């Protein structure tokens, strides 16, 4: 949610910024609905005030006395007026709220303009020369990979995009998850294990609803959604809470499977591990004071990058342009690894600052000092990292051309071997 007071005071400031994003927004409509709502609420409240006043007078009258009887007649009239005005106020409020919730966050002034992913700006690159991977091969074409990564049975059991991982590959997935969590832990992110389903209030708070309704799996019997990312349950952990200022910044790291319907995005580049309906991801989430969030964002990006460096994977950092940015985002960086077999970049992380947008929806606040008015925190999060695409890059880049995949030192110890043998 945007700050409605600021929106009223300076609609042009918002209009200018919102039109940089891809979402259609009608600020005038929202402002009109806001005005109508406030007018209706004021009327309803003054009606309620006079009714309350009459009620107080009535309370001091003798029950059953002529004055009492007369007062009831007056009260009935006041009550009818209040009821209808309050009904109108409620309708006006709902109409306003529905439109208001559809407004996306304003992009940061730092974010570059653009219309789509082609306009994202590469801000740095790190890792080996792409030409050095002379024996790389697409992970889905590796010899024997079908025995470790079983899409056919996954399709039989659940559907396309739900693979089985087997043997050492399943174990490697587990090692990746554990290593990422441990790495984040060393950087001050305390581990948290979260529910894999959330209710509608939670999905609204982080901005999945109403924007991405069709992208989440929902349950038939209950109003629950399978989480598309740990961001949703973890950010909502503090929903409707006032965080003691001494606890800020809060930093959590969570592993969860993520479920995405990916409706409409099933295209040519989805082979193998590139795009799945269920995938594992470790997420980091931070709650910050507003004045700290910009620096925290860069630090969080660095935390995610550090894992890619430890994995010795070539990667680049993209600053996401306003036209490619998500609904609740203010500023966003993506991390992409180079998958040398497919010769393409794979997005493995998205590191975002939501400023106070999610915090308003989720009502997550802090108090600067005793007695001060609660203020909204800033929320930030980033993938650290999405497992399948990291795995794809590891498999492709590490393939020795024969029957094994070299593993970086970072993984060799927990995995118990410095390479993964392919069952050729």
Partner RNA sequence: GGAAGGGUGGCAGAGUGGUCGAUUGCGGCGGUCUUGAAAACCGCUGAGGUGAAAGCCUCCGGGGGUUCGAAUCCCUCCCCUUCCGCCA
Active site amino acids: 260, 275, 347, 350, 389
Interface stretch with RNA, choices 52-60, 113-121, 277-285, 316-324 (CB under 7 A): 52-60
* Identity of the residue, 45 or 409, whose beta carbon is nearer to RNA in the bound complex: 45
Measured torsion, CA atoms of residues 156, 158, 162, 164, in degrees rounded to the nearest 10:
-60
Binding RNA (rule: CB under 7 A), the pick from 6, 16, 26, 49 is: 49
Instruction: For the CB of residue 375, give the shortest distance to RNA in the complex, in Å.
Output: 8
75 contacts RNA (rule: CB under 7 A): yes
Binding RNA (rule: CB under 7 A), the pick from 70, 72, 123, 295 is: 72
Instruction: For the CB of residue 374, give the shortest distance to RNA in the complex, in Å.
Output: 4
Binding RNA (rule: CB under 7 A), the pick from 17, 22, 38, 97 is: 38
* Identity of the residue, 302 or 374, whose beta carbon is nearer to RNA in the bound complex: 374
Phi, psi of 115 (to 5 degrees): -110, -20
127 contacts RNA (rule: CB under 7 A): no
Residue 261 near residue 277, CB atoms below 8 Å: yes
Residues near RNA (CB under 7 A), total: 28
412 contacts RNA (rule: CB under 7 A): no
Instruction: For the CB of residue 220, give the shortest distance to RNA in the complex, in Å.
Output: 15
* Identity of the residue, 45 or 141, whose beta carbon is nearer to RNA in the bound complex: 45
63 contacts RNA (rule: CB under 7 A): yes
Q: CA 282, CA 307: separation in Å to the nearest integer? A: 11
- Scanning residues 327 to 366, which ones bind RNA (CB under 7 A)? 365
Going by C-alpha positions, the residue among 405, 413, 353 that lies closest to residue 381 is 353
Interface stretch with RNA, choices 78-86, 104-112, 125-133, 333-341 (CB under 7 A): 78-86
Element (H, E) at 394: helix 387-398
Helix, strand or coil for residue 301? helix
* Identity of the residue, 10 or 126, whose beta carbon is nearer to RNA in the bound complex: 10
Interface stretch with RNA, choices 77-85, 291-299, 324-332, 394-402 (CB under 7 A): 77-85
The string of DSSP letters for 320-353 reads: PPTTT--TT-SEEEEEEEEETTTTEEEEEEEEEE
39 contacts RNA (rule: CB under 7 A): no
265 contacts RNA (rule: CB under 7 A): no
Interface stretch with RNA, choices 13-21, 48-56, 152-160, 181-189 (CB under 7 A): 48-56
Q: Where are the alpha helices (DSSP H) in 158-281?
A: 167-186, 200-206, 231-236
52 contacts RNA (rule: CB under 7 A): yes
62 contacts RNA (rule: CB under 7 A): no
Interface stretch with RNA, choices 18-26, 74-82, 202-210, 322-330 (CB under 7 A): 74-82
Q: C-alpha distances in angstroms, 27 versus 15, 32, 208, 322, 341?
A: 7, 9, 21, 18, 47
- Report how far apart the first and last C-alpha atoms of the chain are (Å, whole number): 54
5 contacts RNA (rule: CB under 7 A): yes
Q: CA 260, CA 262: separation in Å to the nearest integer? A: 5
Instruction: For the CB of residue 230, give the shortest distance to RNA in the complex, in Å.
Output: 20
Interface stretch with RNA, choices 40-48, 136-144, 291-299, 414-422 (CB under 7 A): 40-48
185 contacts RNA (rule: CB under 7 A): no
Rg of the chain over all Cα atoms, to the nearest angstrom: 27
Q: CA 279, CA 281: separation in Å to the nearest integer? A: 7
Q: CA 9, CA 361: separation in Å to the nearest integer? A: 20
Going by C-alpha positions, the residue among 121, 128, 106, 78 that lies closest to residue 12 is 106
* Identity of the residue, 198 or 395, whose beta carbon is nearer to RNA in the bound complex: 198
CB atoms within 10 A of CB 124: 10
In our burial notation (b when 16+ CB lie closer than 10 A, e otherwise), range 320-345 reads bbbbbbbbbbbbbbbbbbbbbbbeeb
Instruction: For the CB of residue 258, give the shortest distance to RNA in the complex, in Å.
Output: 22
42 contacts RNA (rule: CB under 7 A): yes
Going by C-alpha positions, the residue among 333, 375, 324 that lies closest to residue 353 is 333
Element (H, E) at 113: none
Q: CA 54, CA 58: separation in Å to the nearest integer? A: 6
| Contact map string, positions 360 to 389, toward RNA, x by CB under 7 A | -----x----x--xx---------------
70 contacts RNA (rule: CB under 7 A): no
Q: Which positions lie near RNA, rule CB under 7 A?
A: 4-5, 38, 41-42, 45-46, 48-49, 51-53, 55-56, 58-60, 63, 72, 75-76, 78-79, 83, 365, 370, 373-374
């Amino acid at each position: 949610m945007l700050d409605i007071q600021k929106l009223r005071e300076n609609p042009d400031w918002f209009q200018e910024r919102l039109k940089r994003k891809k979402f259609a927004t009608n600020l005038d409509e929202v402002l009109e609905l806001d005005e109508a709502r406030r007018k209706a609420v004021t009327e309803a409240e003054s009606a309620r005030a006079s009714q309350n006043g009459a009620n107080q007078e009535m309370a001091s009258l003798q029950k059953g006395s002529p004055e009492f009887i007369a007062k009831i007649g007056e009260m009935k009239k006041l009550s009818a007026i209040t009821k209808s005005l309050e009904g109108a106020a409620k309708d006006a409020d709902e109409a306003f709220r529905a439109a208001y919730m559809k407004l996306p966050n304003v992009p940061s002034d730092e974010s570059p303009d653009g219309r789509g992913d082609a306009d994202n700006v590469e801000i740095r690159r790190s890792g080996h020369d792409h030409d050095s991977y002379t024996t790389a091969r697409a992970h889905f074409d590796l010899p024997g990979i079908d025995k470790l990564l079983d899409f056919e049975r996954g399709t039989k059991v659940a559907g396309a995009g739900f693979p089985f991982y087997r043997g050492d590959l399943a174990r490697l997935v587990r090692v990746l998850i554990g290593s990422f969590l441990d790495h984040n832990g060393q950087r001050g992110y305390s581990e948290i294990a979260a529910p894999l389903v959330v209710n509608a209030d939670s999905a609204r708070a982080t901005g999945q609803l109403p924007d991405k309704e069709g992208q989440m799996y929902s349950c038939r019997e209950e109003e629950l959604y399978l989480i598309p990312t740990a961001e949703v349950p973890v950010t909502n952990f503090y929903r409707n809470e006032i965080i003691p200022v001494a606890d800020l910044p809060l930093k959590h790291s969570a592993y969860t499977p993520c479920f995405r319907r990916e409706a409409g995005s099933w295209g040519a580049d989805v082979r193998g591990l590139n795009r799945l309906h269920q995938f594992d991801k470790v997420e980091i989430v931070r709650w910050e004071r507003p004045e700290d969030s910009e620096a925290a964002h860069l630090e969080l990006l660095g935390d995610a990058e550090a894992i890619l460096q430890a994995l010795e994977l070539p990667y680049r950092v993209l600053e996401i342009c306003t036209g490619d940015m998500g609904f609740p985002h203010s500023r966003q960086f993506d991390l992409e690894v180079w998958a040398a077999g497919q010769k393409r970049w794979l997005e493995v992380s998205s590191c975002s600052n939501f400023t106070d947008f999610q915090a308003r929806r989720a009502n997550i606040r802090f108090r600067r000092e005793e007695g001060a008015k609660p203020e909204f925190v800033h929320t930030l999060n980033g993938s650290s990292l999405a497992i399948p695409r990291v795995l794809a890059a590891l498999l492709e880049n590490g393939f020795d051309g024969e029957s094994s995949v070299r593993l970086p030192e970072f993984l060799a110890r927990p995995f118990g071997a410095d390479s993964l043998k392919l069952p050729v």
